[in-house]
Structures are given as structure tokens and as C-alpha cells.
Amino acid sequence: MEEEMHTDAKIRAEIGTGCSPRGPGCSLRHFACEQNLLSRPDGSASFLQGDTSVLAGVYGPAEVKVSKEIFNKATLEVILRPKIGLPGVAEKSRERLIRNTCEAVVLGTLHPRTSITVVLQVVSDAGSLLACCLNAACMALVDAGVPMRALFCGVTCALDSDGTLVLDPTSKQEKEARAVLTFALDSVERKLLMSSTKGLYSDSELQQCLAAAQAASQHVFRFYRESLQRRYSKS
Amino acid sequence: MLKSKTFLKKTRAGGVMKIVREHYLRDDIGCGASGCAACGGAHEGPALEPQPQDPASSLCPQPHYLLPDTNVLLHQIVSAWRLGTWASVASSLRLPGSLETYVEQEQGENANDRNDRAIRVAAKWYNEHLKKMSADNHLQVIFITNDRKNKEKAVEEGIPAFTCEEYVKSLTANPELIDRLACLSEEVNEIENGKIIFSEHLPLSKLQQGIKSGTYLQGTFRASRENYLEATVWIHGDNEENKEIILQGLKHLNRAVHEDIVAVELLPKSQWVAPSSVVLQDEGQNEEDVEKEEERERMLKTAVSEKMLKPTGRVVGIIKRNWRPYCGMLSKSDIKESRRHLFTPADKRIPRIRIETRQASALEGRRIIVAIDGWPRNSRYPNGHFVRNLGDVGEKETETEVLLLEHDVPHQPFSQAVLSFLPKMPWSITEKDMKNREDLRHLCICSVDPPGCTDIDDALHCRELENGNLEVGVHIADVSHFIRPGNALDQESARRGTTVYLCEKRIDMVPELLSSNLCSLKCDVDRLAFSCIWEMNHNAEILKTKFTKSVINSKASLTYAEAQLRIDSANMNDDITTSLRGLNKLAKILKKRRIEKGALTLSSPEVRFHMDSETHDPIDLQTKELRETNSMVEEFMLLANISVAKKIHEEFSEHALLRKHPAPPPSNYEILVKAARSRNLEIKTDTAKSLAESLDRAESPTFPYLNTLLRILATRCMMQAVYFCSGMDNDFHHYGLASPIYTHFTSPIRRYADVIVHRLLAVAVGADCTYPELTDKHKLADICKNLNFRHKMAQYAQRASVAFHTQLFFKSKGIVSEEAYILFVRKNAIVVLIPKYGLEGTVFFEEKDKPNPRLIYDDEIPSLKIEDTVFHVFDKVKVKIMLDSSNLQHQKIRMSLVEPQIPGISIPTDTSNTDLNGPEKKKIKLGK
């Protein structure tokens, strides 16, 4: 990936945040993450991507309702709450996307007949919301100590009308874009876990976006690592 | 791609679905003109003629194509196919060269305007395109629209545009086409005087609101046959009170037509009325008769007692029109040269329709079909247009067509799609057919049917088993083997529901290949059958029942008479005859047992025509004769039906198709009991058994025909038997047959109900697989509803056919005097039955232009005293029968009294007085 990534430039020591000055349309926005900020859940994280911010809490492995019990693995549940109002159809659809991604990496078989619940609260939406939700969920799962096969992250790409690729777009950029693609990738094989697209794009454009997302995921994972290192080295 | 739209949708299960809609424009639709180089072979389907034939229009003399606006097309679809140049219809439905002619809806533009613009763009494109194609032959596209604004805009844009009327009028070669134009309410408004007769119909949204809140009631409008100013509305739903609402007066009927779904408003109690018993026919020819009408309406509201008042209402709006094309005749306008005439439908419940035609003189005396176009507020009659000429009144083909159309009997030839599901000929039984099938070809099976029967659906056998018991088999044609569920053939038979037998014609339910060949259990050929086989002892007690699909080979197809001959002749002892004798013996026991249980033996006069083999004119009338063998076959069919009903109900308690015959309410019997009492006989009606027994006892040594008359009367008291789904009802009883459960299994060639029962039974015995619709009780209930309707209609059509042939018969026969018996006594008439012809008719004693005779009617006895003569039920009279052709539309048989003689009423025996305006008006209705 040619684009210059700045995610690792500075990491704020105290709360484990990093930020990147926005490059000429192609770099990621500045990142920030705080873990273990809620006392009731088993794990929690707040994730910031630019002005987009999502708060995540993970409960589990805990007792499961008999009706939802699965005898050979944990029941994974994702609840996404919008900033205002009640969850609607769009939230339901995102919930499913996030749950499917989590299910692919969480080692549920280690905790049969339990429930793992991920609750995501949108704090502010300024573009790339689904990617931010995925990142917040991953950090919260890590904080809760849920065993996972790999970490995962979400990256959103937008293609505007003349085919320029924008990573981690803002909501304005998303609105103007011809197509918006969100991918979830795992940290071990860098393989695709989930993709959700909207709009018109060609075959080669999809490949191009995927390559860009894979490159960007390296930086996200590096940010994960550093943010965690900060946290644990301190205590 | 033009645009795409993505949205999320919640599924019923609670999941979420992402739906992506993409909108593309085709670039492969050609202009359709054959030989167009620019479009090449891109165009498939019907092509435009390269050189449109000249329709000789005075408006546009050059050769041209027509591009009708969609509204024009919808309105004129009937006339469209008549015009040679409407070939562009197909291509205008999918706009050609869609890349060039695509029009996006602009802001502030509604969908209609957008469509209009799209058509204009297409017309323009066509004109430019055709110019490019051939500069020399000046092909043009003429745009036809009835929308004034659209036309103006088109002319502005340089497109030659005309209204439909302008164009059709300009066609000098086909002047008759103008009649076929569906008239639009707009044009009529201009001619009509502005007087508004009716109140406005409320819009649908208001009606729905009103229905929800209960201020209006929704129901089916049923016009009265006798009185054109009166109608009833059957309210939908289970509301017990106010089930039926009476509407009286033209204004309250408010332009509703028979069978429409309407919304009615109940009037305050002070305005409630009682149904009038007056017979009124709409005879006004003039528009200005509205005042007179009001007078008539007042006439209806004669003094009535308080309790006879019924809920009364008025129509506030129409929810759904159920207009169809109507058969009838033209009543030519009195004004010469007038183009506007009234059309009188054959069905008296339909109002007269105003049509515009120039060929009135050609249509006079013909049966024609007319469609209603609309009913403006200021018009006394609905407006319509002429559709089709059926032929001369009184012609056999015309009248048959009319009665089929009027009774909604589907009688078109079977479509290609339906025929494609028929087995290929030559057909033979294959290995696959033999699966799950028993080979019964060795059995000595024979069929017994009326003479000339080609759709044989049942055959019988009987043989002695080694253990001394008897094996009896009923073999029914396996129609469900050929009609597979869900295909076009199945759907068409389900729609038809039943085969309709008219006097000289049969309207098949299944194509002839099946009905008269493959499914018909003819002798000496292998046929597939569904067999019901019992093991019985010599007392006709069933020891074992078995149902199986089978292959049979009938050894003989006999008529009832032939079978009877075999049984009776002592010197015939072959297999078939012994089999028949065994069956006959058992049938007698079965019948005796059935009658002991309380089954009714009813009677209705059935007539049969002897037809001339050449002209198909009836030569003679004869009542049907009953032989022992008729009842033999009937007995085993009943037994098979009952056995099958038990089996399918056992297996499918929720979705068996059964037939029930509800017990009539006691009030129905009043007429019968009173009539019998007048002859000092007692008829008990508390149970079917006591009714049957008292009917048997009711004999009079001096009057042998009395018993038959009583049975005919008893038949009239009965309810209609109906099909139903066992899961939707809990009363299964068949009153007439005194059986707790009953179904139809034995005539699958001519009844669709039997096909369903065959399928159910086949699943029950594991001979065939099931399908989802079979076990859906709502679907089954829908089928039952259609079947009941079709059976009723078929019955009416049959009666109408008999009535028509009776008329033909008496036309050729002239005037005859016959003995008759009084069946009913009415306030101003007697209904008589002529046993010789099985003919029933009404003799009226009142006429509006004549002084009324002194009539005293006694409801209790019942009797009618005319001057000094008293008429009782069952009295013997003599009547003169003749054909009354004074009303061409409804030719009828008139009866006039000959004996006993009443001065001024009866006509003398010896005069050949054929004056139809005689003092007594007599009308006849047949075979009710």
C-alpha cells in the first residue's frame, strides 16, 4: 500500500490513544481507544475513529437462557444501540454482521452452554460507523478476556464518482461516494471475515479496495497492540 | 445501469433482509417495423407491417401507424383488434429504443404526466426514426389520445395527434366501427341536459372510514327480479340483525347494478319500508320520466303493518363494480334516425342500458352483448356500448349461447395450454402406470348407463367367493391419474366444476379425449380405474371394504333397458347376467334398508326430448322412465360414496371434501302439510323417516297421481345439498339419503368434487402422493364454494335449456289442451303441472288493463275463489297451452284455463281463439 499511514505516529500514554493527522484523502483518521472504563461489564472499550465514537461492553461467558442455549458452544449475542431512539432495521442488520464476524474468531466451543453478549452503544456517528463498531467490539472482547482465534478489525473504503479511493471516510464523504465498502479482516491470516457494500463498483475496484483495506488493517492491528502494551506495561 | 436502490426490510420471522434494486435500460428493443436497418433483428415478437394497409382515413391520407395512449387502449380494447393498423400496440407497451426514449419523472410532475410525456417522446422518436429508415415512403406515426391537454402538447411538439373518436370517425371504409367505441362519460355530458338525478357516490377512502366506524355497511347488491325499484343488500360479515337491507326507489338505489359491492347507510326507523309485493317492470322510454317514477315509488309505499317493516337504507357509494358484458336485445328508439337506443338485458335484474349505434335496424331482433361503460349522475340509465351480435332470436345456437353466457357457464373450447397436459395418443398402459395398481382385468365387469352415454364413469361386478360370500366391486374411472394437481388442465376443470348437460349439447368439464375416450370405461379395452370392493354376505352386510387403484377391462356396456332384459330373461345365464342378477338382488336389500332408515324417495317431473336426428328439433316430449336397473346402479353408487366418505374423513378429519344436505326448517313444510290436509291426509315432518312413511301412506284410491304430486311438493320444501370441507363445519348429515356422512366419488369425469375425493382417497390408501393444497382447508373451502356455485348455475342452465326446447316443441305443435293439476294457489294466480309433459306453469287471473275478477284468497286451506269457482291444491283442471311471442326477448308458454269454465275467465273449449290479449294472462315457468 502506497498510502502513508500515520496511525502509529503518536500514542497518548495515559489512556492509550493514538492519532493520525488526516492525509490527502487516503489515510485513516486519528484513532483512540480506552479499555476497562465501565465497572459492570466483564470487559469494555471505547473506540474513536475521528469523530465517530462507539462504546462497547462485553458480558460473558455467563449463564444463558435455556431457550438460547447451544449445547456445544457459547451463544454469541450482539446488541447495537443507536445514539437516539430505539434500534431499527438498520441496527438489526449491523448486529447480524458484527455477530457473524465475532463468531468467526471467538472460540465459543471452550465455553459451551454460556452466553457472550456484546453491547455496542453509538456515541457519535461521523462516518465508517460499522468499522468503528467492529473495532470497539474487538477491543472489548480482548478486555473481557474472551478466548479468540485471532483479533479482527473493520475498515471502510469509499469510492467517489471519479474512482478515487478514500479510506475511513467521514459521513460527508460517504454520502458523496459512488460506493461504500466495509470489510472485516482477521489479524493472523489477514483474510476477509465479512464484507458489506453499497453502491456501484467494478470487479477491479473491489480488489483494489480489498488490498487497501488489508494494508490499513496492519496499522489498526499495530494500534491495538500498542494501545494494549501501554495499558499493561503501566500497571 | 440507470439507478439502484438499497434498503433493509424486516422479514416476518424477525430477521432482516437487505434488498438491492437495480434499474437498467434495455438497448435491444427495436422499433418493430420489419425491414428497419437501424434496429436490425433486435426486435422479436409481432412486427409492424412494412406497408400499413390503408385504412382510408380522411384525416391522414398517407400510410401510417397508430400509437394509442394507454388509456385509449384500455377503453377500446374490445374494438382494438378489429382495426388492422393497431399493430403498434405491442411495441408501444414496451417503448422502443428505450435508451433514447427513457423519461425520468421530473420534480413536481405526477406519474400520469410523466407517462403522457413518455408516450409523446416515443411518438416523436418513432417519427424521426421512420424518416431515417425510408425517406421516400413517408410513413407516419399518428398519436391517439383522449386527453385534451396531452393532445395539445403533442400538436405543439409537432406530433400528429387525434382523439380516438376523431380518428375512427375519419375512417371512411369502416363506418360501423364508431359504434364499438366505448363511450366516455365526458362526451355524453355535453349532449345530456344537466339535470342531476342521483346523489354523488362517496370516495373510497370515506367509505372505508365509514365502514370501520359502523356508519355505513358493506354488502352485495341484489336487484329484485320483479320490481326494478327495489333491491336488497346482503351485508357481509356475521352480524345477525340487519343481515339484509332493503333499498327502495331509484334515488336510494343510486346507480348500483346487480352484484356490485356497495356501501349503504341505514335510514332512520321512521323511513323503513316493507318489501312490496307489486310486480313492476321498467317500461319508460323517455328520459323525462323521473317525476312519474317518483309517483310509482309512492305507490310502493302502501299501508303496511308495523312489524313487516324491514331495515331500509340507501346506497352511498360503490366499493366494487361487478359489471360484465350482458346479453339482451335492443329496444329501438321511437324517434327515427336516432342513434341512441335502449338495450334491454335478458336478466331482469340488470337495468336497461343506453347505447349509441347506427345499425339499430340491423340489430333489431337479434341477441346482442352490451357492456356498461359508466353511469353519470344525470342519467336515468347507464351508458354502454355494443360488443357483439350473437344472432337471431329464437335460433337454437343463439339461445344456447345466451343461456350459457347468462348462467356464467365456461363453454369456450379448451385452450392449447390445457390441451398440452393431455396424454399423447396412442395411449397405452405402461409399467409405471401399473405401480400401486391391481390388475382386475380378469373380472367380469360391466357398465350400465342411459342410452347414448359416452362418458361412462362407473362399472360394476359381482361374483361369488369360495367362502360363499359375495364380492361386489364398483369401478370408477381414474380421472385423477390424468389430471395432475396444479397444472392448467386441473385449473380449468376446477374452474368449470361440472359438466353441463343441455338438451342437445354437453359442455364438458374435461377435454373430450379424456371424457369420451381415455377415462370412459368402455367395453373391451383396458382402462385405469379406482375400485371400491366389498365382501358382502347374502344379506348385503358389508364384511370387508377395500379401496385400490386398478386396471379393468369392461366386458359389456349396457343400457338400463338391456340390463333389465338380461335380468328378466330366464334363458340367459352367462357371467354378465349372473353378475347383474347378484347385484340386483343385493341392491334391493340395500334400498329396503336405506328406506327403513328414513331415506326419502322424492319425485320431480323430468322430461326428455326426442330429438330429430337431422335438425335437432324436439319432436316429442316424454317424462323419464325408471327401471329396476336404474335404482340398482344408484344403490351401489350411494354405497360407494358413503364408504369413501367414511374412509377419507377417517384419514383427513380436517380436510375431507364431503357433501351434506341440511334438514329443512319446519316452516318449509307448511305448504305441503296444508295441501295434504285439504285432501284429508296427514303428513308428518318431524323426521325424515316419518316424512317418508307418511308420504308412502298418502294414497288415494280415486286419485292415483296424488302421491306423485305430494312428492313433487315435498321436493320443493327441501334445501340445496352442498359440498363443504370437513374442517370448516360440524354438521355432516345428509337429510335426503339419511346418511350421517356422504360425498361424491362416482362421477369424476363430470364433477370436479369427485376428482378431489379421488386424490384424498388415493393418498389415504397410499396409491398417490399428496400435495400442499390438498391439505389446506381454506383452499378446499374455496373450491367447495366455486363448485356449489357452478352446480347451481349448471342446474339453472339445464332448466333454461329445457324451457327453451319446450317452447320450440309447442311452437311446432301449435295450441294444445291438456289436463293439469294445481300445485300451488297464489293470491292472483294458480300454478299448474301438466303430467304429460312434466310442464309447470302459472295461470294468472289479473291483468292491469282489464277489470279484475272477484278473487278471494284463503291462506289457511289454501284456496282461491274466483267469482263462484273455488280452486284447491291438487284440483284437476284443463288448460290450453300456446307459445306467446309478444315479447321477443322472453318468449314464453302461456296457459289459459279451459275447465272448469268461469264466465269471463276461461276460454271456450271449441274456439280456436289465439288472441294473445285475451282476458287472462298466463305465463309458464318450467321444471323448477
Touching A: B residues 17-76, CB under 8 Å: 18
Out of B1, B10, B15, closest to residue A200 by CB:
B1
> N- to C-terminal Cα distance for chain A?
36
A96 touches chain B (CB under 8 A): yes
Give the count of beta carbons closer than 10 Å to the beta carbon of residue B571. 5
pTM: predicted TM-score of the whole model, two decimal places: 0.62
Q: Are B368 and B186 in contact (CB under 8 A)?
A: no
CA angle, B591 then B597 then B599, to 5°: 65
* Sequence-distant (≥ 6) Cβ neighbours of residue B283 within 8 angstroms: none
User: How much is the pLDDT for B297?
Assistant: 59
Out of A96, A198, A199, closest to residue B16 by CB:
A96
What's phi and psi for B298, nearest 5 deg?
Answer: -65, -35
Distance, in Å, from the CA atom of A181 to the CA atom of A167, rounded to the nearest integer, reads: 10
Helix (H, G, I), strand (E, B) or coil at B374: strand
Out of B4, B6, B16, closest to residue A92 by CB:
B16
> Chain B partners of A92 at a C-beta cutoff of 8 Å?
8, 10, 16
Highest mean pLDDT among A22-26, A144-148, B34-38, B278-282: A144-148
The alpha-carbon gap from A156 to the nearest alpha carbon of chain B, in Å, equals 18
The better pLDDT of the pair B875, A146 is held by A146
Q: Give the mean pLDDT of A29-42.
A: 92
A96–B8 C-beta distance less than 8 A: no
Domain ranges of chain A: 29-231
Q: Are B881 and B815 in contact (CB under 8 A)?
A: yes
Task: Give the type of residue at B625.
Answer: E
Q: Which residues pair with B465 in a beta bridge?
A: none
Distance, in Å, from the CA atom of B868 to the CA atom of B903, rounded to the nearest integer, reads: 10
Out of A89, A199, A200, closest to residue B8 by CB:
A89
B111 touches chain A (CB under 8 A): no
Q: Which residues pair with B660 in a beta bridge?
A: B722
Give the count of beta carbons closer than 10 Å to the beta carbon of residue B206. 14
B18–A92 C-beta distance less than 8 A: no
**Residue B342 vs residues B283, B339, B468, B822, B922: alpha-carbon distances, Å:** 11, 10, 75, 39, 27
Give the count of beta carbons closer than 10 Å to the beta carbon of residue B415. 11
Q: How many residues does chain B have?
A: 928
> Chain A partners of B4 at a C-beta cutoff of 8 Å?
199-200
Q: Which residues pair with B448 in a beta bridge?
A: B558
Kindly state the DSSP code that residue B198 receives in the 8-state scheme. Answer: S
pLDDT at A197 over 70: yes
Identify the CA nearest to B575 among candidates B557, B560, B556. B556
Distance, in Å, from the CA atom of B141 to the CA atom of B125, rounded to the nearest integer, reads: 10
A199–B16 C-beta distance less than 8 A: no
DSSP string, B757-770: HHHHHHHHTTSS--
Place of cell 500515520: A6
Confidence of residue A9 (pLDDT cuts 50, 70, 90): very low
Asked if the peptide bond before residue B61 counts as cis, ω within 30 degrees of 0, the response is no
Place of cell 360391466: B446
Confidence of residue A147 (pLDDT cuts 50, 70, 90): very high
> Chain B partners of A200 at a C-beta cutoff of 8 Å?
1, 4
> Chain A partners of B9 at a C-beta cutoff of 8 Å?
89
> Chain A partners of B15 at a C-beta cutoff of 8 Å?
96
User: How much is the pLDDT for A15?
Assistant: 38
Q: Give B766-804 pLDDT, tens digit per residue.
A: 888 888 888 888 888 889 999 999 999 998 888 888 888
Out of B1, B4, B16, closest to residue A93 by CB:
B16
Residues B816/B819/B824/B829 CA torsion (nearest 10 deg): 40
Q: Give B874-888 pLDDT, tens digit per residue.
A: 888 888 887 777 666
pLDDT at A222 over 50: yes
For strand B816-825 and strand B829-834, is the pairing parallel, antiparallel, or unpaired? Answer: antiparallel
CATH number belonging to domain A29-231: 3.30.230.70
> Chain A partners of B13 at a C-beta cutoff of 8 Å?
none
The alpha-carbon gap from B2 to the nearest alpha carbon of chain A, in Å, equals 11
Identify the CA nearest to B176 among candidates B48, B51, B332, B361. B361
Q: Are A164 and A212 in contact (CB under 8 A)?
A: no
> Chain A partners of B10 at a C-beta cutoff of 8 Å?
89, 92
User: How much is the pLDDT for B423?
Assistant: 86
B16–A89 C-beta distance less than 8 A: yes
Q: Are B96 and B31 in contact (CB under 8 A)?
A: yes
pLDDT below 70 — which residues of chain B?
A: 1-2, 30, 32-58, 73-100, 133-138, 172-195, 237-242, 275-308, 334, 336-337, 602-626, 846-853, 859, 886-891, 903-928
Beta strand segments in B691-814, E: 722-725
pLDDT at A136 over 90: yes
**Residue B201 vs residues B183, B206, B207, B316, B555: alpha-carbon distances, Å:** 21, 10, 9, 6, 67
* Chains A & B: contacts with CB separation below 8 Å: 18
Q: Which triple of cell numbers denotes residue A60?
A: 460473558
- The residue of A89, A94, A178, A181 whose CB has the most chain B CBs within 10 angstroms, and thus the best one to mutate to test that interface, is A89
Distance, in Å, from the CA atom of B154 to the CA atom of B250, rounded to the nearest integer, reads: 43
User: How much is the pLDDT for A48?
Assistant: 94
DSSP string, B38-97: TTGGG--SS-B-SS-----BSS--S-EEEEE-HHHHHHTHHHHTTSTTGGGHHHHHS-SS
User: How much is the pLDDT for B181?
Assistant: 64
A86 touches chain B (CB under 8 A): no
User: How much is the pLDDT for B226?
Assistant: 73
The interaxial angle of helices B777-813 and B752-764, nearest 10 deg, is 140
* Sequence-distant (≥ 6) Cβ neighbours of residue B343 within 8 angstroms: B326, B328, B329, B330, B331, B352, B353, B354, B355, B368, B370, B384
B4–A200 C-beta distance less than 8 A: yes
Give the count of beta carbons closer than 10 Å to the beta carbon of residue B240. 6
User: How much is the pLDDT for B92?
Assistant: 42
Nearest-by-CA chain A residue for B2: A200
pLDDT at A54 over 90: yes
The alpha-carbon gap from B11 to the nearest alpha carbon of chain A, in Å, equals 10
Helix (H, G, I), strand (E, B) or coil at B729: coil
A89–B4 C-beta distance less than 8 A: no
Q: Are A118 and A137 in contact (CB under 8 A)?
A: yes
